[in-house]
Structure 1
Amino acid sequence: MRPKTHYEILEVAKDATPDQIRRAYRRVVLKHHPDRSSDPGSVEILHQANRAFEVLSDPIRRRQYDRELNPPPKPPPTATTKTSTPPKAQPRPSAAASQRRTATPATNLQAELNELTILIKRGNFMLAEQAAKNIIASNPKVGLPYAVLGDIARKNGDRNEAAKMYAYAIQFEPNNTVYQRRYEQLLEQVVPEVRASRGDADETLGAFMTGTAAIIVLGCCFALMWTGGKPAFPKLPLIGSWNLTTWVVTIFAGVSLGSCLSIGNLIDRINATVSTSLGGPSPTVVLGLLALINFWFAAALYVLIGVTRQAFHYSTTRIVGSVAMTVVCFTIGVAFQEKVFAVEVFLWSGNLIYLAAMLGWLVCDAFRVERYRL
């Protein structure tokens, strides 16, 4: 059975105006939205409609799609007469030369893809973005560079652009489950009708959870002001003055930070943040490992790499910024009492808070509901 065209999916004519396409897309979304339809096939229909709208709403992509639907007819062969001069026989190329010409484009493409993969693994997103665009310019039907551009847009917080790039990647590699997973996670946030219907609720939730995190941190700070008791591990180097309250408050604050940011949708899904479309670890994972040594060292390295390689991820930046502010608050809190040394809290509490925040993020992220499935 012939697959439906984008026009047939949206039930519009091939000469439909942009306004007619928008109205048709909105009609399909409202009819098959999971909140309104119990049909299991509605999710697939909605996914197809979303792809169709992305293509048909872009004039350049629509013209290209129309050309693919209706390729120009081949010109008829020109009849030759007996008086025409026969073409001179050309020397037949050797098999090796023919093979070289055939293999060169594929070889060049593979080399470019390998280079792109290396750039992503090194966290050099500035060069990776340009490399991906260069590949698309010469080979527009390869999925990986679109997925890389999707990752870059997503780390910058541009979810609409990220969803568009993932949709392109799926179009050329429909069996890639990583691309599909990343696209699914963004669907509910980028479908216009869904986003508009829940925009105020998302902003309210985000503001509420930000306030909740601030209250928890301030409460922990006051708890540290009046903390008492003997050191829990007096022989432990660097943090020998910490008592049991300091340990508990520090871990609790970190878990609360990660949980509040995740519940408030103020940070991305953790699996999309700690990995790339290639399946390898992102700079966030390296940051977490370095935080085991010292949070401030890891944060400084993150800023350096972010500036030089455009490797900032908005979720990681918010986590790092929140942890840094919490450490400063805790340092001020313990400065008002003499049992716990403020310098120890300033230098080393960030390690524990950051790792606890990642744990809170991981746990709460597991309960986020994905309402779209391909």
Structure 2
Amino acid sequence: MRAETENLVDEIKQAISLLRRHLDWDEAVKRLEYLNSRAEEADLWNDPQEAQKLMRERQMLEENITGVRNLSQALEDNVGLIELGEEEGDTSVVSEAEAALKGLNDEIAARQVEMLLSGEADGNDTYLEIHAGAGGTESQDWAQMLLRMYTRWAERRGMKVDVMEVHDGEEAGIKSATLLIKGRNAYGWLKTESGVHRLVRISPYDSNARRHTSFASAWIYPVIDDTIDIDIPDSEVRIDTYRASGAGGQHVNTTDSAVRITHIPSGIVVQCQKERSQHKNRATAWDMLRARLYEEELKKREDAANATEASKTDIGWGHQIRSYVLQPYQLVKDLRTGVESTSPQDVLDGKLDAFMEAALSQRVHGSDGAEVEDLA
């Protein structure tokens, strides 16, 4: 076996060992055995909420344990193929197995990142809000570019994107928008994207072709299910209805079907205009408000809460998490992790995984942050 291949095999073995340690392998296997036996008991669904919680835990453990076992088996199979190919002088078999090992290494790297998604709400669907900063058309156009970027990212991952509300800009772009992104670990992946995003470019709206700096913010909060009880007294909210509008100012309908709910103590505002029915939009807006308040509680349990709260209050200098420079050079740089890309167009087309992976890793392992505690 070539030295390069031996090194790759050793690297894969070490990575699998780390995955096993991260899972606390022996305890995880015992726990899965218990959950499997519990799933067969007739009284399990006497408490539906507890049953759902156990089934989610069972599914997660089963996926992780099966995944590590499959990786170990694939390593063993390909090492065997290489040895067999070398014995028989079949270079094509050796080449195919070596290529498979490189693919296996990439798969392990992706699974290591997935292992970071172990927070309480990481597996949930998520809401994504985009807000334009000060600067009129420039920032509103940038907000629309961010909206497309995250939509493309979600589509690349096979996630479903529903537009809950959009407020169009006067000339171009959007003032704000809310998406519901549905997919495995949607919140876990996106949660580190909350913050201010800065764009530097030659403005297409400036007849003198001057360079402009624009800001827009993203805000991420998880969809929550009925097992999480968030009590919101009616006295703490103000509910407004308004006429929903679509692209170009065209009215979706002629009734005040869109709903805006303001949570007075926190100042949180949510709005929905997706449906033609005011009743349905009101129900969805309540779900969104509960999700926002739950996300606020999660943030309070992180060491980085103060910095995160500050990023909400001012869409401008000093609060940005990432800069996207299109002129006079091409560079996207994350100001928290230092991760860079010299291909802004790829990033704006949804290639965000490298930035997300680094931010997740920093969040779990870095000295400046801590994972969310259970809210039990």
Q: Which has the higher strand share?
A: 2
Q: Which has the higher helix share?
A: 1
Q: Tell me: higher relative CO, structure 1 or 2? Use CA pairs within 8 A at least 6 residues apart.
A: 1
Query: What interval of TM-score do these two structures reach, taking the shorter chain for normalisation?
Result: under 0.3
Give me the TM-score of the superposition, normalised by structure 2: 0.23
